[in-house]
Structure 1
Amino acid sequence: MGRRKETKVETVGLVVRPGSEQVARRARRLAAWLERRGLRVLAHRDWAGSAGGRPVVGRSAMMREADLVIVLGGDGSLLGVARLSGTPPVPVVGIHHGEFGFLTESDRGGLFNTVAKILEGPLRIQYRTMLAVRVRRRGRVAVRSQALNDAVVTRGTFSRMLTLEAAVNDHRLGTYMGDGLVIATPTGSTAYSLSAGGPIVEPSMSAILLTPISPHTLSSRPLVLSDRSRVSIEIAPDCDDAVLTLDGQEWFTLERGDVVEVARSRNRAAIATAADGSFFEVLQSKLHWGARGERKG
């Protein structure tokens, strides 16, 4: 259930999944429709060539200037925008067309009708925990970013097993040997963590998940930690083929002795929705959770 937030929407940012002329046409129609309602539209530079003279900005500028950002695309497109959330967060809504989307709204009822439901009355907002991620290398911070779904330490190009030393709040947790580790938010519990055997966690919970990927020992099981925890993952001295990915989109090569530090970010993502549906309804409709199988005979 999302919270209702009194936000006067005057400027709408519009982000379009690149590479699709069909989506670009839908974006132009939506921009004109929004302008007829008296709203100012900012176009993301990915579709600057067909923005029709509208102001063109990058994602960071859009997150500063817009009152609401509409993303036409799937979950990946929404993650790329929401990961830039600051304080206070700008509401972001993703709308997908004819494809699977766990975080995004479907436009089956019509694109304009879907957006109209979002804009009518106070915005329905779901606030989501984000992760602050740093990589320390030889005493200095080499990487600083954040993620909405997950931070994943995994193998690069070679098939050798990784050895990772994990600690929580400066207390040694143990040695993980396998294909890597997923550090996920409750939002990310239905993404990579789930495919690696992690639990599904309700997005409103205050938690951080630690899920091993193909662990070498059966005793390496997923953990659910408090979101006040600070997780540290050190790359073993004999591992020279590890990478860090954030939301499956940002990619960093890790070196021997690097320490990946993950904690709850001071920023939250604000996901706007078209309806007050429950998380369990989303599980049932999109993951077929608890679906009754057909009986034979």
Structure 2
Amino acid sequence: MFHYIPSGSDTNMRIERGKPVNKVFIAVRPGLTSLNEIKESVTRMLLELGIRVVDDLSKADVIMAIGGDGTLLKAVHESRGKIPVIGVKNGTYGTLMELNHDNLAEGLKRIVKGDYFVMLVPSVETMGERALNEVLLANQEKGKSMKLELYIEGERMNSFIADGIVAATPIGSWAYSLSLNGPILDPRVNAMILAYIAPWPPSSEIPLNPIVVPEGVEVTISSDSDMMVIPDGVYRGLTVREAVIRLTGEGFMLATLSSDARYFYRRVMGRIRRERR
């Protein structure tokens, strides 16, 4: 049962202590031979620790996603939020990835012993789809803008012309939303960001700044064109004229080595500074 425990300040996160691990599923991006070496290394270390590496994801205690953020997102969706996922960085920034070359060996030992935490992170939910980072609503006719209307809790807030809109989670505030001048949300803040893609200011009734709404608040977006619903960068064929979106606490499970929210900032900023060198 997930509960709230102190996370380094006077606010809390949905988190529980991890359990000792016996079986691990390793997820890698198919076709990338550059990942074979690190996969073999992780497999060898797990076997030395007495852990079984299984081929069936549903039988794993923990999923290890090796690569970049895209690999972790795919693993999270395949787990359906029922199995903790932890990332092993082998890409560029990898802001979602918990382990890297520096802490891999120690991290694996801690996970095996149950010396880790599992966070239940919120997801954006719409039309039966869920996303860890964000849901993108974009015109089905690529390269064309559309007339959008925005309602919050049934109250009409704005009407404008744009190429699309992004609804992002706190974790997703470091991704697509950030490129749209969306704010960075602390992972302890359960709120959803609405950020606009290429909006045309003269068409708007109020300034087109990103909006932040609390968990559970329903946001309705209607369009004069068919909109593609794209969760975490994957289009599955769903097209709508109107979408109801909200942030829900029924999200996904991510494994982490620390329950202190400051650890999240140290990890993310450390990766960014290292890649900029």
**After alignment, is 108-117 or 123-132 more displaced?**
108-117
Partner-residue secondary structure (3-state), 1:115: helix
Check the 8 A contact 2:65/2:87 in 1, yes or no: yes
Matched, 1:174 2:158: yes
| Aligned twin of 1:262 | 245
Instruction: Report if the CA contact (8 A) 1:97-1:106 is conserved.
Output: no
Structure 1 equivalent of residue 265 of structure 2 = 280
Opposite residue 123 of structure 1, the aligned amino acid is Y
The TM-score normalised by the length of structure 2 is: 0.82
1:26 aligns with 2:9: no
Deviation at 1:106, TM superposition (A): 4.2
Q: Which has the larger radius of gyration?
A: 1
Which moved further from structure 2: 184-193 or 153-162?
153-162
Name structure 2 gaps, 5 residues minimum: 1-6, 8-12
In the superposition, the TM-score normalised over structure 1's length comes to 0.77
Match of 1:122 in 2: 115
**Inter-partner Cα distance in structure 2 for 1:29 and 1:283:** 24
Find the aligned partners of 2:101 and 2:45 in 1 and give their Cα distance. Answer: 18
Give 1:49's aligned residue.
none
Measured against aligned partners, the alpha-carbon deviations of 1:140-172 in whole angstroms (never above 9, x if no partner) come to xxxx22100111112345433211222222222
Match of 1:209 in 2: 193
Change (3 A) 1:36 1:106: closer
Return the alpha-carbon distance in structure 1 between the equivalents of residues 186 and 249 of structure 2: 20
Q: Equivalents in 2 of 1:4, 1:129: separation in Å?
A: 15
Partner residue in 2 for 1:105? 98
- Give the corresponding residue for 2:4: none
- In 2, the alpha carbon distance for the partners of 1:106 and 1:122 equals 14
Q: What's 2:50 paired with?
A: 38
Q: Which amino acid aligns with 1:205?
A: V
What is the CA deviation profile of residues 50-73 of structure 1, one whole-angstrom value per residue up to 9, with x for unaligned ones?
xxxxxxx3xxxx2x4221111111
Size of the alignment, in residue pairs? 257
Output the CA distance in 1 between the equivalents of 2:244 and 2:177: 18
Letter in 1 for 2:61: D
Shift of 1:243: 2.0
Cα RMSD (Å):
2.6
What 5-or-longer segments of structure 1 have no aligned partner?
Answer: 44-56, 135-143, 292-297
Instruction: Find the partner of 1:271 among 239, 254, 259.
Output: 254
Separation in 1, partners of 2:18, 2:231? 32
The residue number in structure 2 matching 1:231 is 219
Report the Cα distance in structure 2 between the residues aligned to 1:7 and 1:114, rounded to whole angstroms: 14
Structure 1 contact 176–212 (Cα < 8 Å) conserved = no
The alpha-carbon distance between structure 1 residues 158 and 272, as it changes in their structure 2 partners (threshold 3 A), is closer
Select 2:84's aligned residue among 85, 88, 91.
91
- 4+ residue runs of structure 1 moved beyond 6 angstroms? none
1:214 partner amino acid: A
- Percent pairwise identity: 26
Aligned AA (2:47): E
Contact 2:218-2:246 at 8 Å conserved across structures? yes
